[in-house]
Amino acid sequence: MWRGAISFGMVAIPVRMYLANESKGVSFRLLCPRDGAPLRNKRWCPVEECEVGWNDAVRGFEVGKDEYVRIEDEELDNLPLATTRTIEILEFCDDSEIDAGVYVKGAYYLEPEAVGVKPYQLLRKALEKTGKVAVGKVALRDREHLCRLALHERAILLNTLHWPDEIRDLGQLALPDAEVEIHARELEMAVMLVENLAARFDPARHRDGYRDAVQGLVEAKLNDQPLERIPSPPLAQITDLMAVLKASVEASARQRQAALGGEAEPERATATARRRRAS
Burial 184-207 (b: 16+ CB within 10 A, else e): eeeeebeebbebbeeeeeeeeeee
Q: How confident is the model at residue 142 (pLDDT cuts 50, 70, 90)?
A: confident
In terms of average pLDDT, the best of 15-19, 138-142, 256-260 is: 15-19
Burial of 181 (0-12, 13-18, 19+ CB in 10 A): exposed
- For the chain, percent of residues with pLDDT exceeding 70: 90
pLDDT at 271 over 60: no
Going from N- to C-terminal start, the domains of the chain cover 2-22+78-166, 179-198+237-279
Pair 274, 190: CB distance under 8 Å? no
pLDDT at 4 over 50: yes
Amino acid at 119: P
d(CA 152, CA 53): 42
For the beta carbon of residue 270, count every other beta carbon within 10 angstroms: 19
Q: 3-class secondary structure for 106-140?
A: EEEEEEECHHHHHHHHHHHHHHHHHCEEEEEEEEE
- For the chain, percent of residues with pLDDT exceeding 90: 39
pLDDT score, position 212: 83
Residues 6+ apart with CB under 8 A from 19: 1, 106, 107, 108, 109
Helix ranges restricted to H, the chain? 73-77, 100-103, 117-130, 184-197, 209-222, 241-260, 266-278
Mean of the per-residue pLDDT values of the chain: 85
What pairs with residue 158 in β-bridges?
A: 108, 149
Pair 54, 73: CB distance under 8 Å? no
pTM (2 d.p.):
0.73
For the beta carbon of residue 217, count every other beta carbon within 10 angstroms: 13
Q: Which CATH class is domain 2-22+78-166?
A: mainly beta
